[in-house]
Structure formats: C-alpha cells, structure tokens
C-alpha cells in the first residue's frame, strides 16, 4: 500500500488521539458498501403511507416528496452562498443557475401532478387530508426567506409600510401567506396556519435572522458595483425569480384549477384559503429581486400568462 496514504492516515488520527491500527483493522472487518445501503432505498420506498385505498394517492404523496427533496437541494445551494463571506461573481452565477435548474425541473414536472391522477380519486382521497395543505411546506417558506429581504414577502397591501428596520416578529404577521391562513371575515387564524406556526414559527424567526444579510438579494447587493452589472448573473437571477414566482406558481394554480374547479365552481381547498384569488401571481406580486425588473415589468407581473 502507498506509504503516503498510511502516513496521511496516521497524521489524521494522531491529531485526534486515535489509534490508526484500530481503524485499519476496522476496514478489514467492514462490509463492502452497496447501492441500496448507500441510497437507503428500503427506507425511501417505505415512506409512502396512504390514508386511503386509492392508488393515485401514491402519486400525490410521492410527487410531494420529490418536491421536498428538490427544495432541500435548493436550500443546500443557498446555504453555501450564505456561508461564503466573500463570494465571487462566477461562483454566485453558477450557484444561482443550479438553483434555477431545480426550479425548472419543479415547474416542468408539475404535469405529473396535473395529468397524473384521476380527478374522481383525487377528490375522494383529498377529503381525508383536511386541514393539511402544501401551504405548510416549511422548506418552501425557507426558500423564500433565503431568496430575498423580508420586505419583499410582505402582503402587497401593507408592503409600503415596511422597511429593513421593521422587526422580524412584526413583519412575520404581515407576510403574504398570512392572508391564506385567516378567515377573511373575522381575521382569525385557521387551524392550518396556527398548527403550522406552532410547529415552525420559532425556527422560521431564527432562520429569518440568520438570512437577514445572507439571502440571495442582499448577497447580490453586497457584490462590487461592477460585478452587479454582470449580464450572466442578472439573467440567472431574473430567470430564477420568474421561474419560482410566475412559472411554478402558475403550474401549481393550473393544477388546482384542474382538480378543484368542478362544473365551473371552485371547491374548498384542504387548507381552506380563498385559493382562486390567492394563488394567482398577479394577486400576490411576489418578486424576490425587484430592482432587476423595470417598472413596466413589475406592473405586468403575472398578468401576461
């Protein structure tokens, strides 16, 4: 065996007061790794627990799980950008393009949801899911917090009253998605929202604080002036913004229409929101990187689709 590797191993283990021979003996007894052990296929393929006997419920569960895995990949890239104290423009661009590709996949694959289930089956198994909703996807919310400053996620009706001095706690109560979780007549929070907050609010506030200066938009604005003019980076950022906030949102909205619009009437969603209005991008006008769009483009946000 190459003595260079042995010496490197010795150095590694001596640094932590460990006996190298013991580790080498461990190698002698350990099993070779298999694909199924490494990828954890047995665990993965047992994570689909249906609440009904309808076979298409499995499509619904699995596609949500696939989405959550892709969300995790997005968050991993975002954490790498956040943890880089002086990111260079090329690394930034490469990572934003990676994030964008994950969302391209999420958008184009939404047809698996839209065309992949029998409408009759869906409308039966979904009744067993009330009051759960994709609205309660914590990773989706984290992606938004890690993408932009909190002000850009405030409900459009109140956005002008918020700036970087507003406390995260106060801003949190005015995030755009609070609108979907409140009884619009009484203002009372729905169970879907209260349960979500009970489970995640503290974690979200910690996350928001950690990303206050480390979200994609703040990091972009922290680049040198000349780097902020990079056409490649600007195009990558615009592509990501548009894909998440218009294309993915519209694919989702059209899927909801496909299953929940019955005989021209909109059925109540499991999360209980006024979804027809709420889910459309022209209503929320969520834009992560507002300065990268012209006033005309912002005005028309979500209307041209």
Q: Are 292 and 235 in contact (CB under 8 A)?
A: no
261 forms part of the interface with ligand HEM (CB under 6 A): no
Residue from 103, 135, 162, 204 touching ligand HEM (CB under 6 A): that is: 135
CA distance 60 to 63: 5
Neighbours of 21 (CB within 10 A): 10
Give alpha helix (H) positions in the chain. 3-14, 20-29, 35-39, 41-44, 57-82, 89-108, 110-116, 119-125, 138-147, 168-172, 191-211, 216-221, 231-242, 249-260, 275-278, 281-284, 295-299
Shortest Å distance, C-beta 106 to ligand HEM: 8
In whole angstroms, the minimum distance from the beta carbon of 218 to ligand HEM comes to: 22
Among 273, 288, 301, 302, binds ligand HEM (CB under 6 A): 273
Report in angstroms how near the CB of residue 278 gets to ligand HEM at its nearest. 6
Supply the DSSP symbol for 129.
T
Rule CB under 6 A: say whether 152 interacts with ligand HEM.
Answer: no
Kindly tell me which residue out of 82, 244, 260, 287 binds ligand HEM, with binding defined by CB under 6 A: 260
Among 193, 270, 289, 302, binds ligand HEM (CB under 6 A): 270
How many residues touch ligand HEM under the rule CB under 6 A: the total is 23
Q: Judged by CB under 6 A, does residue 252 bind ligand HEM?
A: yes
Give the nearer residue to ligand HEM in terms of CB position, either 10 or 114. 114
Stretch that binds ligand HEM, among 39-47, 129-137, 149-157, 220-228 (CB under 6 A): 129-137
- Say whether residue 64 binds ligand HEM (CB under 6 A): yes
Residues in contact with 99: Cβ distance below 8 Å, sequence separation at least 6, in sequence order: 74, 77, 78, 240
Residue from 146, 209, 213, 141 nearest 180 by CA: 141
Site map 170..209 versus ligand HEM, x via CB under 6 A: -------x--x-----------------------------
162 contributes a contact to ligand HEM by CB under 6 A: no
**d(C-alpha 153, C-alpha 147), whole Å:** 10
Cα–Cα distance, 105 to 139 (Å, whole number):
17
The angle formed by the CA atoms of residues 99, 132 and 169, to the nearest 5 degrees, is: 65
Closest CA to 165 of 180, 181, 150: 150
Q: Which residues between 99 and 118 bind ligand HEM (CB under 6 A)?
A: 113
Q: Print the binding letters for residues 210-239 with ligand HEM: x by CB under 6 A, - otherwise.
A: ------------------------------
Contact status: 259 vs ligand HEM (CB under 6 A) = yes
Query: Which stretches of the chain bind ligand HEM, using CB under 6 A?
Result: 63-64, 67, 113, 133-135, 137, 140, 177, 180, 252, 255-256, 259-260, 269-273, 275, 279
């Amino acid at each position: 065996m190459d003595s260079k590797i042995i010496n490197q191993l010795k150095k590694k283990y001596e640094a932590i007061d460990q006996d190298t021979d013991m580790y080498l003996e461990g190698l002698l007894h350990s099993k070779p790794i298999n694909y199924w052990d490494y990828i954890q296929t047995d665990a993965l393929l047992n994570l689909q627990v249906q609440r009904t006997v309808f076979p298409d419920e499995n499509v619904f569960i699995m596609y949500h799980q696939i989405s959550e895995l892709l969300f995790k990949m997005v968050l991993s890239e975002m954490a790498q950008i956040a943890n880089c104290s002086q990111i260079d423009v090329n690394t930034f661009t490469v990572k934003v393009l990676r994030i964008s590709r994950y969302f391209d996949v999420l958008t184009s694959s939404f047809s698996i949801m839209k065309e992949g289930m029998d409408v009759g089956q869906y409308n039966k198994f979904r009744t067993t899911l009330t009051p759960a909703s994709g609205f309660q996807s914590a990773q989706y919310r984290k992606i938004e917090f890690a993408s932009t400053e909190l002000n850009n996620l405030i409900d459009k009706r109140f956005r002008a009253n918020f700036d970087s001095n507003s406390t995260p706690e106060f801003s949190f109560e005015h995030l755009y998605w609070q609108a979907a979780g409140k009884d619009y007549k009484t203002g009372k929070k729905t169970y879907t929202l209260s349960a979500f907050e009970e489970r995640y609010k503290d974690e979200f506030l910690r996350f928001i604080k950690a990303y206050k200066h480390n979200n994609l938009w703040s990091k972009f604005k922290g680049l040198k002036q000349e780097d902020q003019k990079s056409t490649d980076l600007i195009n990558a950022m615009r592509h990501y913004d548009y894909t998440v906030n218009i294309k993915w949102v519209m694919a989702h909205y059209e899927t909801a229409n496909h299953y929940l619009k019955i005989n021209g009437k909109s059925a109540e969603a499991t999360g209980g929101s006024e979804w027809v209005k709420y889910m459309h991008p022209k209503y929320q006008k969520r834009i992560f990187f507002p300065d990268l769009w012209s006033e005309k483009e912002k005005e028309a946000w979500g209307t041209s689709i």
